[in-house]
Amino acid sequence: MSDLGIMVLLVASLFLILGSGVWIGLTLSGVAWIGMQLFSSRPAGDAMAVTIWGSASSWTLTALPLFVWMGEILFRTRLSQDMFRGLAPWMQRLPGRLLHVNVVGCAIFAAVSGSSAATCATIGRMSLPELAKRGYPDGLAIGSLAGAGTLGLLIPPSIIMIVYGVSAEVSIAQLFIAGVFPGLLLALLFSGWIALWALRNPRLVPPADPAMSLGAKLRESRHLIPVLLLIAAVLGSIYAGVATATEAAAIGVLGALVISALQGTLTWQTFTQSLLGGTRLYCMIALILAGAAFLTLSMGYIGLPRHLAEWIGGLGLSQAQLLLALMLFYILLGCFLDGISIVVLTMGVILPTIQKAGIDPLWFGIFVVLVVEMAQITPPVGFNLFVLQGMTRREIGWIARVTLPFFFLMAAAVALIYVFPQIVTFLPAQMRP
């Protein structure tokens, strides 16, 4: 059978098994088994056992459950309410006023939570009722939260960066530091759009809260101290070179437990809920990663990645054309799959292609995260849209519509990191010996 025939058969098998309701991780393993059994000489059972064991026992992956657990602990604290109290006084004089709390709050919480959905849910639980009470337009309040919630994927520590680093064999610490400037760039673009909208529609912006003295603002800012100390402990230990990503994750869990205890929210019930929530999420991710590792091995034995890379190389596409095609491809996949599944499903095939095109895998990791962020707010399977639908009871089509400007701002960020790759590569270059 030709390469095209094999690919069509495997893709059809993938969607057929997915459509029957089988878990994504098991689906990937099933497709890999079909490919290896039919089109290679190596016994599929032996390969499956060795690959899944190797994937599940990877030391690099140990940072993932710890960061997931840290986010689960913080989700059950008063951190979001404290952040609103600390940020609100400083936002009153900006065009758009408290709408900027969504962006700044998501950027700060993203630095202690690697999940887009957790960032969106935690900040939204605090900000949406407050903004509605003050009379801010629902469309921009919800749209800005959906867009800014995606910063949970880009600003380190990021679960999807760990997944990409493991899949692509790229340093996770390097990926973390590479995401800092793009994350800040995206936050500035979001805030800039809110300010521009407010300047064009001043009558739709509610009046400012009563003015506060500088001393009063500083006193309110004390509520930000716990989260800022946690960010400094987790990211500072990585960037200073005194801790690996896994060790920093352990520091983060300890810090989250201390914050929860000091706030009085650490009970046996919240502890067990956070532990079980983190375990469930990690087990789902680990199963997907194990299935993807077996699929990658299977594709390697069949030779599809090499043949696909050669075929794309023969098309004579420039780097810009290739990246544009990949961006559209990932956005299309995002309409049907979650971000982690997208990354692990495609890396085995895409990496040889981008390496052949001379694209830096570190830079490409940030590109992928940005594009997957865009997929988080595209229907019908945009996770942030589902989170907001559950919180607001609004139609998912309406939520997608008010989020559209932030989708285009993400596309602008992708263009900026292509034109100015130093936005991604500058900080990692400073870390290298």
pLDDT tens for the 433 residues of the chain, in order: 666 677 778 778 877 887 787 777 788 788 888 888 887 777 778 788 888 787 777 776 777 788 778 878 877 777 767 777 788 788 878 888 888 888 988 888 787 776 677 777 778 877 888 888 888 888 888 888 888 888 877 888 788 888 888 888 888 889 988 998 999 999 999 999 999 999 998 888 888 777 778 788 888 888 788 888 888 888 788 777 788 778 888 888 898 899 888 888 888 998 999 889 888 877 877 777 788 778 777 877 777 656 665 666 667 778 888 899 888 888 877 766 667 777 877 787 788 888 878 889 999 999 999 998 887 787 665 667 777 777 777 887 888 889 899 999 999 999 999 999 999 999 888 876 5
Q: Which residues of 310-331 are buried (b: 16+ CB within 10 A; e: fewer)?
A: eebeeeeeeeeebbeebbeebb
Euclidean distance between CA atoms 183 and 162, whole angstroms = 16
How far CA 62 is from CA of 247, 249, 280, 327, 431, in Å, comes to: 9, 9, 15, 30, 23
pTM: 0.76
> Encoding tokens for residue 187?
């936050």
Euclidean distance between CA atoms 147 and 110, whole angstroms = 13
